[in-house]
Structure 1
Amino acid sequence: MSRPRGKKVLLLSVALFAIVLVQTWWITIVLNVLPYKKLSSLPLQTMGLISYGVIVSAVIAVGFITKQMIDLAQKESQYEVQAEYINTLDDLFTSVRAQRHDLVNHLQTLSGFIQLGDPSAAQEYLQELLGETLFTPEVIIQGAPGLSALLYIKQGKAAADSIEFRLNISGELTDINVPPYELNRIIGNIINNAFDHVQALDVDQRLVQVDIVQNETGHCFRIANSGTLNQESRAHIFDRGFSTKEDNQHSGLGLFIVKSLVQKHNGSIVVDNSDDMVTFTVFFPRKNTTFKQVGTVLDLHK
């Protein structure tokens, strides 16, 4: 559940409980009025027990209502991220179908050049074709089809925006202890942030690199982009509402959500700026591995 919604639920619960207390105090103490005459004849101790019972019942009712509201809000949040995950897979399916259709067209064109006895035209066409960005097996990650789909889509987005997008994938993600849809939110938000950052640079300087590596203790994701990050931005980059963009079109929640999700799954995230590259490093321990056993995130860099 998001923090603003959680605050609203808590405030409503506190307000409801306060109303019950004030009403009880006002009737029984200030006005010294009881709604039923039979109650006024009861001993003071009995009256106190009744009042206590009413207050306890009110607290239980408020607690139950609060729990139900929190559960509903959490389910709504889960549905939202699952819908985002499904949309990513749908985009992947659409892209694969389109690529297959284009490939058939290209092969038919090459076949036509050859049948017409014009191999030079076929060679020229093939050279132009190979000059385009091809999206293939380098984005396939064993154990993480959702992340594979996400990287596939991001690769196409980078090509459309004239961004050099490098991928280095080593190992599998079969034993990572993070739900696929939340892993996609983490990596996707960081990549989006990197894309936004390099868009302000000249075309020949737009570089985003994604490294996914592992060792015996866990999995490391490094997303780096060309550019710099000043000291103030580094200090507040994960703060709620903080944004390095000046267009006021961003909520500043992306990296805040990323850090929250990383911590939720006992991971860690750091940001570094060196050699004119801004690098976010996310680390998750393997399943059934405690964080104390893992050591530092930098162990995966060795």
Structure 2
Amino acid sequence: MDIKEQQKLLGQKEKEMDSLQNLLRTVRAQRHDIINHLDTVYALLSLGREVPAREYTGQLVQVAANTSHLLRLEQPVVAAFLQNKASQAMARGITFYIDVRADLKGLKVKPYALVTVLGNILENAMEAVEPLPGEQRLIQLDISRSETGYIFSISNSGPPLDPAMKEAIFRPGVSTKGLDRGLGLATVWEMVISHGGTIEVETDPVTFRVKFPV
């Protein structure tokens, strides 16, 4: 291994350690903040605001459920990234469901590559659902494993995708969001293909299904 490769490997390890530390800080912060959340729910109930209290409690339950699921990944970098995305979704009034049915110990794809793929698809999903009324802003991420590989499925409740765009959206410069905004999914396509994976798109509901071999 030459010096450049060693430096690259060291840089990746440093990023992984930073992500792990961020995850631990997030977990500690959530534990510390639980009292504030309970105080908020109590205050809403005291004011007779049962509906907001119920909605707020639902958000807290979903955050806790997501955290529990992410611990099953046994991949701190990806877990930290998804925890951050879940926090962003909550701040944007989006309900983000995460269902982890398999750990990632057998995944050969590097964490930075997986974060790039999931990050671009999730950001597109958030932008798609943001214009909707609050209760309709939904995103679902399912992580599972078959005999042949890992499957990452991301669906959202946004407008259906024009079937004619299914393949075109992966071309550089092509986007459903306007001119010069079509680089993210092109990057996703290149990253997935370069790691021997495949990506499928369903139009209604809009779903991206990424598969990586084991």
Q: Counterpart of 2:201?
A: 271
Deviation at 1:98, TM superposition (A): 2.1
What amino acid sits opposite 2:161 in the alignment?
A: L
**C-alpha displacement at 1:268, in angstroms?**
0.5
Number of the residue aligned with 1:37: none
Shift of 1:78: 8.5
Normalising by structure 1, report the TM-score. Answer: 0.56
- State the partner residue of 2:175: 243
Structure with higher RCO (Cα < 8 A, 6+ apart) = 2
Which residue of 113, 130, 134 maps to 1:203? 134
Q: State the identity %.
A: 36
The aligned counterpart of 1:282 is: 210
Distance apart, 1:130 and its partner CA: 3.4
Which residue of 111, 115, 120 corresponds with 1:180? Answer: 111
| Structure 1: distance between partners of 2:111 and 2:26 | 20
Q: Distance in 2 between matches of 1:243 and 1:106?
A: 39
Secondary structure, counterpart of 1:211 in structure 2? strand
Worse-matched range after superposition: 134-143 or 262-271: 134-143
Query: In the alignment, does 2:92 pair up with 1:161?
Result: yes
Task: Output the amino acid matched with 2:120.
Answer: N
Query: In 2, Cα distance between the equivalents of 1:174 and 1:194?
Result: 27
Provide, for residues 78-112 of structure 1, a one-character-per-residue CA deviation record: whole Å limited to 9, x for no partner.
899888766654543442232122135568x6xxx
Structure 1 residue 152: deviation in Å? 1.2
Root mean square deviation of aligned Cα: 3.4
Partner of 2:162: 230
Q: Return 5+ residue gaps in structure 2 as ranges.
A: none
Supply the distance in 2 between the matched residues of 1:80 and 1:237 (Cα, whole angstroms).
32
Per-residue deviation, residues 4-57 of structure 1 (Å, max 9, x unmatched): xxxxxxxxxxxxxxxxxxxxxxxxxxxxxxxxxxxxxxxxxxxxxxxxxxxxxx
Residues 143, 99 of structure 1: alpha-carbon distance in 2 compared, 3 angstrom cutoff = closer
Instruction: Provide closer, same or farther for how the CA distance between residues 231 and 87 of structure 1 changes in structure 2, counting only shifts above 3 A.
Output: farther
Contact 2:73-2:100 at 8 Å conserved across structures: no
**Could you report, residue by residue, the CA deviation over 1:157-216 in whole angstroms, capped at 9, with x for unpaired residues?**
111111121111112211111011111111111111111111122323211111111122
Partner SS, residue 167 of structure 2: helix
Aligned residue for 1:151, secondary structure, equals helix
User: Counterpart amino acid of 2:76?
Assistant: P
Give the counterpart letter for 2:196 in structure 1.
N
2:60 is equivalent to residue 130 of structure 1: no
Q: How many angstroms does 1:232 deviate by? A: 3.4
Give the whole-Å Cα distance in 1 for the aligned partners of 2:75 and 2:26: 18
Select 2:101's aligned residue among 162, 170, 181: 170
- Tell me: CA distance 1:100–1:204, structure 2 relative to 1, closer, same or farther (3 Å): closer
> In the aligned structure 2, how far is the partner of 1:176 from the partner of 1:105?
38
String of CA shifts for 1:208-249, please: whole Å, max 9, x gaps: 111111122111110011121113322311001212113x5x
- 1:258 aligns to 2:185 (yes or no): no
> Whole-Å Cα distance in 2 between the matches of residues 131 and 86 of structure 1?
32
Name the SS of the counterpart of 1:172 in structure 2: coil
Instruction: Name stretches of at least 5 consecutive residues in structure 1 with no aligned partner.
Output: 1-71, 114-119, 287-302
